[in-house]
Structure 1
Amino acid sequence: MVPDPVASIIIPSYRGAERLPRLLDSLAAQQDGTPPFEVIVVVDGVDDGSVALLENESRLDLRIIVFPENRGRVGALNAGFEAARGDVLIRCDDDLVVPPDYVAVHVEAHTSSGTVGVVGPTRDIHAPSAYARAYGEDAARKSLAHALSRPPQERWRLWAASCSISRETWESVGHYDDRYQGYGWEDVDYGYRLHAAGIPIEVFEALTAEHHGPARTVGARSVKAFEAGGARSTFRRLHPEASIGDPATGNGVWGLGVRLTAASMRSRRAVERVAGLINRMLPLVPRPVGRKLVALAVEGAGVAGASHSVDEERRAR
């Protein structure tokens, strides 16, 4: 007889058949003495073989929720959290590989620290490429160092791919906000709501997971920045009291370059066009030059996405 789960791991998944096996392997390899846990995978509207893969998984106490159509990550997260039976609710993206004490550390944090939000940092894993050498690997190191060094009052901004709350907190704070329809910031929104409710957020280095799904090209990274720029505007509209301003462009020559790049990115297609050009240049230029070019594309796309979102809101009025 399978014991009642102490923890529930909620995994939103879209076209995840290639990513899920690594995550499931790491969950099946949790250390001896791990509290009982269940895994809930929400297949978000496209079955690329994920359902058969999950149905054949016998090592884990696993349940599958299949959406008949794509509802987005917010819908998948909310459905998974609603179905969870555990007292500790762990959100885990399908492109992670977690350490063997992952579940135990999450559970211990909630049993020993009172009401708390728990963040597990992630470390991007890049395959060798011109983009990885010029930008991706350096950005991954900086991102992890940033997560581990944030002061308590800023940790809500880290709420993302690997995190947990108690069932009591979920019932108090509520669902992820479905007004975030594109990429990004639904997590930051939830972290802010925890922060606004007075719930401290702790970052546990022991929970650091490998992230095998980072952007692999300048185009993919820039499109994410463009969409996240739009979602940032949604956050600012919903939480005007939060300490989030417009994306910074910097001063001097660099700031001018970012603003000019943003001006050339009026749409997602324009972002892809500019980023594609830079991606083709990377093997031909020295690494420091390549890093600057990618940074221009990413920062410019973020500014352009925020501006595009504001313009759309004005037209809709």
Structure 2
Amino acid sequence: MELAYSIAVVIPTYNRKNLLQLLLDQLGRQETGPFSLEIVVIVDGSTDGTLDLLCERYPTVHVVVGSGNWWFTKSVNEGIRYVRHHLTSSHILIMNDDSYVDPDYLRKLVAAHQRGGEGGILGSLSVTYEQPARITFGGTRQTIRWSMQTINYLEPFEPYEPGRYSGLHPTECLNGRGTLVPVPVFDRIGLLDERRFPQYGSDDDLALTAKAAGVPVLISWDAVVYDRVSLTAAGTAYLKPPFAIFIKSFFNLYSINSIHKTIHFYRKHGLPVLWPLSVGLFVVATFRAYLWKYRRLNTAQ
């Protein structure tokens, strides 16, 4: 079998040794296909024995050690830099350390990428690991530039029914979990924007930047990544955090609700004159989600 894809899986991690081990074992049990696999784990300040685990149980995994203050985006970028300098991989797959994938995941992802055009970026359907399974991200039909609101294909947290969702779909946003990128795309548009988006937002920024440069951006509903949504940022509306934590999340540079991140994102991709309005709408929508939209949603495992 011709190996058309040499994939480097880039996985940032911080103090999630047990979950990382599960993901590495899942990647090791993937069904065969027209691809080879290398794994690069970026350990940014972990103190839970992650480095010992990788050394003892996964000697073929490439390890990059961070300063402890890299956060998600710089960790991903350092993983990409490692791949470009030390490996010969044709594609990079960005994964979260707490994700779960079925044995046919990579085979389906590569098949979808081949159908969609080998020069584009491909994302994966995101589904909750917690039961009952719900869809967390299935791509966006459109981004309304004046308000920076997105129109989703699928309603967030609608029940996931295996076999019901299929096919390739253009998207203007990505969520970073299971994103396959040809290495030449980074030569064309640069790496993720770690200055503006150190923790959240760099995945959506990657999608919009690539699209503006003429790079196709698609999402596959056949390739599924299961997310542990209960482990996401503490201020996230659907986790229903205490109100004080929710408020503080707007002023935390590394929060999903970060005003700093949102201002940078809307100034970069929205309409120049209207970005303050867009930020205001974001705050209103986030409060609405917290106070009403997700109040009855059970995200516990």
What is the TM-score of this pair, normalised by structure 2?
0.69
Decide which of 157, 162, 186 is 2:178's aligned counterpart.
Answer: 162
The 1:224–1:149 alpha-carbon spacing in structure 2 relative to 1, beyond 3 Å, is farther
Aligned pairs (5 A) from 1:107-186? 107-112=110-115, 113-126=117-130, 141=134, 143-144=136-137, 149=153, 155-180=171-196, 182-186=198-202
Quick one: percent identity of the two aligned structures? 20
Q: Are 2:196 and 1:214 aligned?
A: no
Residue 172 of structure 1: how far off its partner (Å): 0.9
Residue correspondences, number: 250
Q: Distance in 1 between matches of 2:63 and 2:285?
A: 49
Aligned Cα root-mean-square deviation (Å): 3.8
Residue 294 of structure 1: how far off its partner (Å): 7.9
Q: Could you say what secondary structure the match of 2:64 adopts?
A: strand
Q: Are 2:238 and 1:234 aligned?
A: no
- The residue type equivalent to 2:65 in the other structure is V
> Deviations 1:178-232 (Å, cap 9, x if unpaired)?
2235541111111111111111211112211111253484228947963333212
Considering fraction of residues, name the structure with more helix.
Answer: 1
Q: Distance in 1 between matches of 2:248 and 2:81?
A: 28
1:90 aligned partner:
93
Residue 171 of structure 1: how far off its partner (Å): 1.2
Aligned pairs (5 A) from 1:19-30? 19-30=19-30
Contact 1:122 1:211 in 2 (8 A): yes
Residue 146 of structure 1: how far off its partner (Å): 6.1
Q: Distance in 1 between matches of 2:98 and 2:296?
A: 27
Aligned pairs (5 A) from 1:34-113? 35-58=35-58, 61-84=60-83, 85=87, 86-112=89-115, 113=117
Residue 236 of structure 1: how far off its partner (Å): 1.4
The 1:120–1:6 alpha-carbon spacing in structure 2 relative to 1, beyond 3 Å, is same
Considering fraction of residues, name the structure with more strand.
Answer: 2
The 1:237–1:162 alpha-carbon spacing in structure 2 relative to 1, beyond 3 Å, is same
Contact 1:46 1:70 in 2 (8 A): no
- The residue type equivalent to 1:82 in the other structure is R
Aligned pairs (5 A) from 1:181-200? 182-200=198-216
The 1:141–1:223 alpha-carbon spacing in structure 2 relative to 1, beyond 3 Å, is farther
Contact 2:42 2:65 in 1 (8 A): yes
> Deviations 1:126-155 (Å, cap 9, x if unpaired)?
37xxxxxxxxx6xx73534666827966x1
Contact 2:4 2:34 in 1 (8 A): no
Q: Distance in 2 between matches of 1:103 and 1:145?
A: 18
What is the TM-score of this pair, normalised by structure 1?
0.66
Q: Distance in 2 between matches of 1:293 and 1:106?
A: 33
Contact 2:124 2:178 in 1 (8 A): yes
Aligned pairs (5 A) from 1:254-265? 258=287
Larger-Rg structure: 1
Q: Could you say what secondary structure the match of 1:176 adopts?
A: coil
1:32 aligned partner:
32
Aligned pairs (5 A) from 1:236-315? 236-241=266-271, 245-246=278-279, 248=281, 258=287, 291-292=294-295
Structure 2 portions without partners, runs of 5+: 141-151, 155-167, 233-238
The 1:248–1:225 alpha-carbon spacing in structure 2 relative to 1, beyond 3 Å, is farther
